[in-house]
Chain A
């Protein structure tokens, strides 16, 4: 039971403070006794309720019952939460404007694949270190082995706005086919592959244990420290400057290129597919739109085209809410970093390789308020669309 106690004077406050010190009563004060004018709320285990009431009455201390049966209230709340979760599932009211657990995102992938089953399907491209499935949504209106666009999010698990944006983008692509001329023509010629959670082990860890976790959760031989930075693990300048050889570092490159199954699975998928024409990856934060290289500070051969396209995409992003993205190569814009994904994809032959750093510029950083998820997804989508349209119109 939860009681509300109204003390009349300092003497009574002292009595309550005495009561507070009696540990065997297992009293849980929701408002502690401090001043006579303020109420004191206390939760009392059932078996001690009578004793405490008797004490209060003997001291002439007034009280009332705030909550008759706390357990009943909690049970009801739990029931209601389960019910509304269930309603959300069955009535397709996935709230894109809030952060979700891995399970919730995976459930929505299934939902999208089922609702748009004529052109959306879910593939498993591998398993994480802790054996969680790596799911890719395939958007395809037909053909066989059409040229395709790759888009991934959440390779760094703490960058929550990226997984959240990716699932919004999935819904956007699915619902725009048949209504938006640009996306319709795009999907009539090309396929899109979308990996919404590239690092599911890390993502779960950010929910259960450490919101700021970045890496995978693989064990490192000979070290207590866990995990490899999956964006230093690609076979592009691996071992060079801008990645650490220390397993405890947040930019640890790993024992060898592709050591991380999360990276290897994507590499294998892309190689096996054989017809990927663009490789786009989402990170946060800093509001940047970058092209190769990161592992070296020299310009890529396609610098002019990539720079122009990047600027056009940044301009599209800005047109919606005024959000400014800085465009440039990874090396000159942030830092030299070896083993990065778009360097690998570019050197592999995928010309249109871009890395986005989404909102914001440091005010909230990784803990971007949920209210900014949809605006971020909306503006980012405009930039992605600009790039995809260019890829569609410039086959190679």
Chain B
């Protein structure tokens, strides 16, 4: 039985945020992050012995180009009971995403030609500033955090990436770029700020991978 939800409803918003995070992880890169612009339609289906499934029609924004939007339909299935199983997300994009090969290549070459491994903190800083050269690093964190958010979401959570506390590039002997991030996730329902470590691997024309991630103790902040 599927029930129509107001697009403004909190439950629709949570499912949409999760779907966007997952999508961003699957399609993002240092040259592209996807963000939720609006929810056009939302329906919720209770499936006996399985869980709750949300059918969503979303409008997404192709960050950094805010004027570039793309429609998307998504289905989010939150499994009954189990805390350890990530929700299932399926999506279909209507149309093509902009090609970011050039921007990705530029970023890749920039990092490869650094004398010393990149290290940075507090992106954005307290005042919301992001140095322009850090924008791809930030988008990469966004994309990777999509994985962490997806793996840790339930019907009672709504996560956003609040800040990158620290990022450190790791030396590699192969062609991949590897970054060790400590990020802060903001969970809206509990209002908690949760530090999270993630090891992120990337190469142009390959997707973003999170090879290791772990929740960090809260006092890491104070």
> Which residues of A are in contact with B by a Cβ distance under 8 Å?
32, 34-35, 38, 98-99, 206-207, 209-212, 214, 229, 244, 248-251, 286, 324, 326-328, 331-335, 361-372
Contacts and interface: CB of A to CB of B under 8 A. Distances in A.
Interface stretch (B166-174, B184-192, B208-216): B184-192
Interface of B: 6, 8-10, 13, 17, 35-36, 38, 63, 115-116, 124-129, 160-163, 184, 186, 188-193, 218, 221-222
A295 to B, nearest CB: 15
A32 B160 CA distance: 37
Given A248-B218, A249-B190, A334-B188, A367 B127 contact: yes
Contact of A250 (B128, B161, B163, B190): B190
A333 B128 contact: no
B126 A211 contact: yes
Given A34-B116, A214-B191, A250-B192, A365 B126 contact: no
Contacts of B17: 362
B191 A327 contact: no
A99 B125 CA distance: 12
A331 B8 CA distance: 11
B218 A363 contact: no
B163 A327 contact: no
Contacts of B189: 334-335
B128 A212 contact: no
A365 B186 contact: yes
The main secondary structure of chain A at its interface with chain B is loop
Contacts of A365: 160-162, 186
Residue from the set B10, B63, B184 with the largest chain A CB neighbour count within 10 Å: B10
Contact of B128 (A207, A229, A364): A364
Contact of A369 (B10, B124, B192): B124
Residue from the set B38, B63, B128 with the largest chain A CB neighbour count within 10 Å: B128
A34 B189 CA distance: 48
Residue from the set A212, A326, A334 with the largest chain B CB neighbour count within 10 Å: A212
Given A211-B126, A249-B190, A367-B162, A335 B10 contact: yes
Nearest to B33: A363
Contacts of B35: 361-363
Contact of B160 (A251, A327, A362, A370): A362
Contacts of B186: 212, 365-366
A367 B128 contact: yes
Contact of B9 (A248, A249, A286, A333): A333
Given A98-B127, A365-B186, 12 more contacts: A34-B115, A35-B115, A99-B126, A214-B191, A229-B191, A244-B190, A327-B8, A331-B10, A332-B8, A361-B35, A362-B160, A364-B128
A228 B130 CA distance: 31
B127 A212 contact: no
A113 B162 CA distance: 36
Given A212-B163, A368-B128, A332 B10 contact: yes
A333 B129 CA distance: 30
Contact of A367 (B8, B9, B125, B190): B125
Given A251-B190, A333-B9, A362-B160, A367 B124 contact: yes
Given A251-B191, A333-B9, A209 B222 contact: yes
